[in-house]
Structure 1
Amino acid sequence: MEIRYDIGSRDPQSPRTAITIGAYDGVHIGHRTVIAEVRRLAAERGLASAVVTFDRHPASVVRPDSAPLLLTDSEQKLEQLATTGLDLTMVVPFD
């Protein structure tokens, strides 16, 4: 799985991509179901499969007083996403 931290630097030769967007904290069975569907649709259409996620949980910025406690840190999240068979994970700064 390729990991990109600069989503603005897309290579024009990169394949078209099916994407899901979310915090993906914990990469639980619900996340894995969504990712499996993205992978299935991508394969069916000849696309790459990708997740766009954030360097921190959006709620920690938008509503810090009620932000959830995280299940995983960024490194653990990327390790878990790597087990899903995705082609690419893009990590977006959320501030």
Structure 2
Amino acid sequence: VSSTSSSCRSYNVRAFEIARDRNLRHYPCIIHFLDDTERTFHIDRRSKGIDLLNEVYDYLDLSIERKYFGLLIEDLTQDFAYRWLDSTKTLKKQLTTTMSQYHLYFK
């Protein structure tokens, strides 16, 4: 009697998604500006909040007025909740890894 082994190929989807996201080197951050325009910045996931802020400030050609502006992170875990981007923390700690792109609002 020969035994036929059926190989059931299944995997943990959540673990696969986490591993996939861990391999991403850059986060696509869509910045929504005050004039309702938007621009996507691709920034290294190990960068700090200040690095993204500086890219946005440079794009807008802001020099002196930088201390008056910041970025709000859209928190999709709660309805209509926003958090300020912390310039001292890494983006990896502030942006949830379950999203494929991140929406931030320049204020």
TM norm structure 1: 0.27
- Highest CA radius of gyration, 1 or 2? 2
More helix by share: 1
Query: 1 or 2 for the larger relative contact order (CA 8 Å, sep ≥6)?
Result: 1
- What is the TM-score when the length of structure 2 is the normalising length? 0.25
Give the strand-richer structure, 1 or 2.
Answer: 2
